Each structure stands twice: as C-alpha cells, then as structure tokens.
Amino acid sequence: GENVEQHPSTLSVQEGDSAVIKCTYSDSASNYFPWYKQELGKRPQLIIDIRSNVGEKKDQRIAVTLNKTAKHFSLHITETQPEDSAVYFCAAPSGGFKTIFGAGTRLFVKA
Amino acid sequence: NAGVTQTPKFQVLKTGQSMTLQCAQDMNHNSMYWYRQDPGMGLRLIYYSASEGTTDKGEVPNGYNVSRLNKREFSLRLESAAPSQTSVYFCASSHTWDSNQPQHFGDGTRLSIL
C-alpha cells in the first residue's frame, strides 16, 4: 500500500541552529503535503503545507521544499528556539480520500 | 470558537467493556476522521466519513464502529475493548473529503484498557 517515510525519528539541535526533516512518499498522484506540529500532550496542528504546483513555500522561520520527481519533501526550521521542541509529522494523500502520516520526528532544541 | 471537541479526555476500561468516544465540530466541515496514535507509529486512520451519511474503513478498522450522527458529530465505538486498543484517539475534520485539505484535530482521548 501507499506509505510515507519520515526521517530522522529524533533530532537534537542547539538553539539558533537549523533543523531539517525529510519525508518520502510513494503515491505519485499525491499533490498536497502538509506538516503538523504536536507539542507534548496536545493536538497536532498544521504549521505549513505545500501543493505540487510550487517547489518551495516559506512562512517566517519555517519552509517546505518539494521534489516531485524524487517524491520527497522537507521541512526546514531556521534559527530554532526552545519552543520549537515538539513532534513533527508530515503527511500525503493516498487514494484521494485518505491522508497517510509519517511516523513523526521528535525535535529537541537545546538552550 | 471551539473547533473540534472530543469527550471524554481520559478513560480507563476493563477488557470486554464497551465505550463510545464522542466528537463534534463547529466549523461546518463535511468530512470527519478518527485516528489512533501509538508511540513511534504516527497517526493511523481508523474510520472516516467523507460527508454526512457516509462512513468508510481506514487502515485499522477492526474492533471499532462509527456513526456519523449529523454533520457536526462523529462517534467511535469500541464494542468489546481489548488491551491492544490502549491508545490516544484523535478526531479530526476537514472542509471536504478531498484529501488535499488540511485537517483540524481535537485534543484527543487517552484510553487505557486493563
């Protein structure tokens, strides 16, 4: 079946450094790629998304890049802050009705 | 502006007991979803309702049933709870069934089966 692989599973960075999380997907028909942030004990919340008609999208310190040929997309966080510490999930559509989520990346930002 | 509301927030059950998890959204969304979240496994889709009056199985439907009571409400029922169903359950909604839309999540229900 369709799947979404996410790497790394854990990422530790120093405050102020950049963090990059990568996801690969298998459904070549996918054309919408959201990223969700989940703080400890909270709900997942959408932080940024990208559609297949663009290669990059930025929102302040976060950006997402998409390579449709290679079927991967990445989340980039610059100038990381302690409040960026959370679990980040990528997702991609599957079969038109369903969304498949990656297994998540736990990001630690050390002050 | 409540968004997606789930009840209860926590529940402990004994094996074999039944339970219904409630979910309601006030965003006039057409589609609603139930996920379970287990450590290291992301969010797995249990059931979804593309629109009022329809429901369909997701990746892990065994042991669960759902009811789309009306446009606002989508409930998840465990008929005979098993320890393997210990998990955090999230309800979500989106504007349409088109999976090219962001999903809005509730706060989750933490369910333990003893």
DSSP string, B20-64: EEEEEE-S--SEEEEEEE-TTS-EEEEEEESSTT--EE-S--TTE
pLDDT of amino acid A19: 98
pLDDT of amino acid A96: 64
pLDDT of amino acid B20: 97
pLDDT of amino acid B112: 96
Instruction: Measure CB to CB from residue B40 to each of A45, A98, A103 and give the nearest one.
Output: A103
**Pairwise CB contact (< 8 Å): A97 & B44:** no
Partner residues linked to B65 by β-bridges? B77
Q: Which segments in chain A show pLDDT lower than 70?
A: 1, 96
pLDDT digits (tens, 9 = 90+) for A42-72: 999 999 999 988 899 999 999 999 999 999 9
What is the distance in angstroms between the Cα of B29 and the nearest Cα belonging to chain A? 15
Residue with tokens 């997701």: B58
| Token reading at B112 | 């333990």
pLDDT of amino acid B37: 96
Q: Which segments in chain B show pLDDT lower than 70?
A: 1, 99
The number of beta carbons lying within 10 Å of the beta carbon of residue A58 is 12
Q: Which residues contact A18 (CB under 8 A, 6 or more apart)?
A: A76, A77, A78, A79, A80
**Pairwise CB contact (< 8 Å): B98 & A44:** no
The number of beta carbons lying within 10 Å of the beta carbon of residue B99 is 24
Most B CBs within 10 A among A40, A98, A105, hence the mutation to make, goes to: A98
pLDDT of amino acid B66: 98
Q: How far apart are CA A4 and CA B31, in angstroms?
A: 22
pLDDT of amino acid B42: 86
pLDDT of amino acid A98: 80
